[in-house]
Structure 1
Amino acid sequence: MSCQPIDKWIKKYLKDIFYGVGRNSPYQLNDFVHVLMDAVEHTDFTNNTCVRIGGPTGETVFSRLQKADFEKIKIAFFEVLKPIYNLFKRLLRNRKVALAFDITDEPFYGKIGGFWIHAEQPVRGCTGCFKFLTISVVNRDNKLILGSLPVSRGADIVELIRELLQQAQTFVHPEILLFDRGFDNLELLACLQEAHVRYQILWRKQAWATKILKKMKRGEVKEVTKVRKYSKDKSKYTVKVRYVFIKKYRRFANGKAYDWVFATNTRQKSQHFYVDKYRKRWGIETVFRVLDNIQIKTTTKNEVIRYFINLFCCLVYNLWKIFCVLEQKISLKNFVVRIVQVIKSIIPADKPPD
């Protein structure tokens, strides 16, 4: 899988989303790819890229999204993901994979308004943020992003998780779903049980859970089953939850001992396996740190443009991971530079004669 076929996947993503480029347009699809990839390489604004390399301005690039919506962008991403994941799956030998869910914040600098800008300030100086729910494969070194959805203020997170899971299950068999304590939601537990999937959620240490931990001995593992109540749309529901408590477990001899509380429908041989299973989820944090190095900067409030950029960067990350496995290990930065060089070599051939 050389860099040249990879640029075709990027162009397919754009072609499936962008409003058609007219015959009289001075720009072709490769020009738009060049601007976006150069912005990725320099973690820059597309308008700065236009000044640096020529080609369409950021406004011209994003004007091609005038007929796009969330669904169109999401489908375009999955259509590219399916064939490249089939290559990846061969390396996994069709084994089941652990999937992790997380919400990532993209800082916003400006006046907050509308349904899509949240009040949280993830970095100093920002006034708010856009949020995206992400699902990723987190098996060892094999980490891929399987999908992402924008999160509005007051969004139904459980429904978004259900949507991403259903899409992912069309081409991957999850061994287990992993969630951090931000997802300790009784409605989510009911949804996962209904879907008949294995799950493990790090649960917040609420007052009742703290009391149980205080009575336990160091290194002890305890299971507690509770029937919990929750409300939705003015109706009341119940869900049966099995909690696993682990008291002062030290994963490594020189490490710190921690208390753990999980909500899970799996049974492991010992506390070691519960903790190690959950530690796979930490791989998604690594993914986000890497993605921070290839962001396209923007000040727009337009949620469609934000979502397009989010999945574009996720696609570049996925293609890099596939390239590293199938071809050669290379840094993400060098991979992006190679793609830019390939696109630059193609662009002159696209230009009409003077």
Structure 2
Amino acid sequence: MGKRIKNPKSPIVGGKRKASTNYFVGYLTFSVVNMDKHLILQVIPLFRDSTNLTAIKNCVDLIYGYGFKIKSLMLDREFYSAEIFSYLKESEIPHIVPVKKNSDELKRQLKGKKSKSFEYVINAKSKNKLKCKVKIVDRVIYMKGKKGKKGALHRAFVVYKINTSPKSISERYRHRFAIESTYVINNKFKVRTSTKDHVVRFFYYLIACIIQNFWVLTKWKRFAKIQRGPKVIDRDKFPLNHYLAIIFEESMTHFRILRIDEIAIS
């Protein structure tokens, strides 16, 4: 949405083209993932002069501000850079980040038929020519026709202060995809609007996050399976569409909104 604005403090940021535009209102979300409980704790607006490093620093400050400890910080590929890895290592923050295969040397290393780990030097894109040595863990998975693919699939991650096998690293990072799913779910709750007022859009996004968190907490409290061992949510009960239908019906009643068929009858 919106048009290009040169002001560095503008809330309109650039991004991958979607819906015929490259400019959007951007947010950084701080989420906690614990089994089937995925909660959004903080939403931070992004501006044109925001950098990935600044965003990570703000996120880390929030985590410590809440009194949490970081067991493993899992980031997506957008945060794969020497500057960020240097900051995380200096701060002694355990982390897992998928590798970007952006060099011939790295592509050569990520070959073979066995899982392994090795050290690699990442060069910074900035003018300071910063270099950072990282540990890369490469898990090899044989697809055997899964998803129409055959042969060996390499899933490589930059790993720091997490001493587990390549398989364990890959399985642990899978929990992060739960955060990606929250974005898809959030779009179900988000108000559709054409306004270019970033404050209004931010307000609507916060409301969507609150509603989503309430759905997750309700499932966790009321719809867990009765069994021994860890708490597991019964995914077949209280589905998202049912929850949305309840919100819609209650909203119609509370705000006394007439349906089209009721208007026609009256």
TM-score normalised to structure 1 length: 0.57
Shift of 1:333: 4.1
Does residue 334 of structure 1 match 2:219? Answer: no
Which residue is 1:212 aligned to? Answer: 109
Where does residue 74 of structure 2 map in the other structure? 178
Letter in 2 for 1:185: S
**Counterpart Cα distance in 1 of 2:16 and 2:135:** 35
Q: Deviation of residue 347 (structure 1)?
A: 7.2
Q: Contact 2:95–2:162 at 8 Å: present in 1 too?
A: no
Q: Which residue of 1 aligns with 2:183?
A: 288
Please point out which of 131, 141, 151 is paired with 1:249.
Answer: 141
Cα-Cα RMSD: 2.9
- In 2 relative to 1, CA 240–127 (structure 1 residues): closer, same or farther, beyond 3 Å? closer
For residue 189 of structure 1, the aligned residue among 61, 85, 92 is 85
Q: Equivalent pairs: percent with the same residue? A: 23
**Residue 321 of structure 1 pairs with residue 235 of structure 2:** no
Q: Which amino acid aligns with 2:87?
A: C
Partner in structure 2 of residue 113 of structure 1: 5
Residues 266-275 or 309-318, more deviating: 266-275
Structure 1 residues 284, 191: closer, same or farther in 2, change over 3 A?
Answer: same
Cα drift, residue 166 of structure 1: 2.1
Instruction: Decide which moves more: 188-197 or 175-184.
Output: 188-197
**Is residue 2:131 matched to residue 1:223?**
no
Which position in structure 1 is the counterpart of 2:159? 264
Alignment of 1:153-164 (within 5 A): 153-164=48-59
Distance 1:126 1:238 in 2: 35
- Which range is displaced more, 338-347 or 307-316? 338-347
In 2, the alpha carbon distance for the partners of 1:347 and 1:222 equals: 59
Aligned partners of 1:113, 1:298: CA distance in 2, in Å? 20
Q: In 1, distance between residues paired with 2:52 and 2:249?
A: 40
The answer (yes or no) to whether the contact 2:116–2:137 under 8 Å persists in 1 is: yes
Query: Whose RCO is larger (CA < 8 A, sep 6+)?
Result: 1
Instruction: State how far apart, in whole Å, the 2-side matches of 1:173 and 1:179 are.
Output: 16
Residue 322 (structure 1) shift: 0.7
Deviation at 1:291, TM superposition (A): 1.1
* Residue 133 (structure 2) aligns with: 240
Structure 1 residues 296 and 343: CA distance shift in structure 2, 3 A: closer
Deviations 1:156-179 (A, max 9, x none): 222122212322331543321111
Q: Residues 265 and 119 from structure 1, CA distance in 2 versus in 1: closer, same or farther, beyond 3 angstroms?
A: closer
Alignment deviations for residues 317-349 of structure 1 (CA, whole Å, 9 cap, x no partner):
11111111113452334334545666777779x
Checking the alignment, whether the CA contact within 8 Å between 2:81 and 2:124 is kept in structure 1 is no
Q: TM-score, normalised by structure 2?
A: 0.74
8 Å CA contact 1:198, 1:266 repeated in 2:
yes
Residue number in structure 1 paired with 2:62:
167
1:303 aligns with 2:198: yes
Q: Deviations over 1:119-178 (max 9, x none)?
A: 445433446322222222233311111222222224122212221232233154332111
Amino acid in the other structure paired with 1:131: G
Alpha-carbon distance change, 347 to 293 in structure 1, aligned in 2, over 3 angstroms = closer
Distance 1:121 1:156 in 2: 16
Q: Report SS of the residue matched to 2:71.
A: strand
The equivalent of 1:85 in structure 2 is none
Would you say the 8 A contact 1:121–1:129 is kept in 2? Answer: no
Gaps of 5+ in 1: 1-107, 349-354
Equivalent of 2:96, from 200, 213, 218? 200
Structure 1 residues 172 and 335: alpha-carbon distance in aligned structure 2, compared to 1, 3 A threshold: farther
Deviation at 1:314, TM superposition (A): 0.9
Residues 99 and 158, structure 2, Cα contact 8 Å, conserved in 1: yes
Distance (whole Å) between structure 1 residues aligned to residue 129 and residue 16 of structure 2: 34
Unaligned runs of 5+ in 2: 224-236, 257-266
Distance 2:155 2:16 in 1: 28
Whether 2:39 is the aligned partner of 1:144: answer yes
Count residues with an aligned counterpart: 234
Secondary structure of 1:201's aligned partner = strand
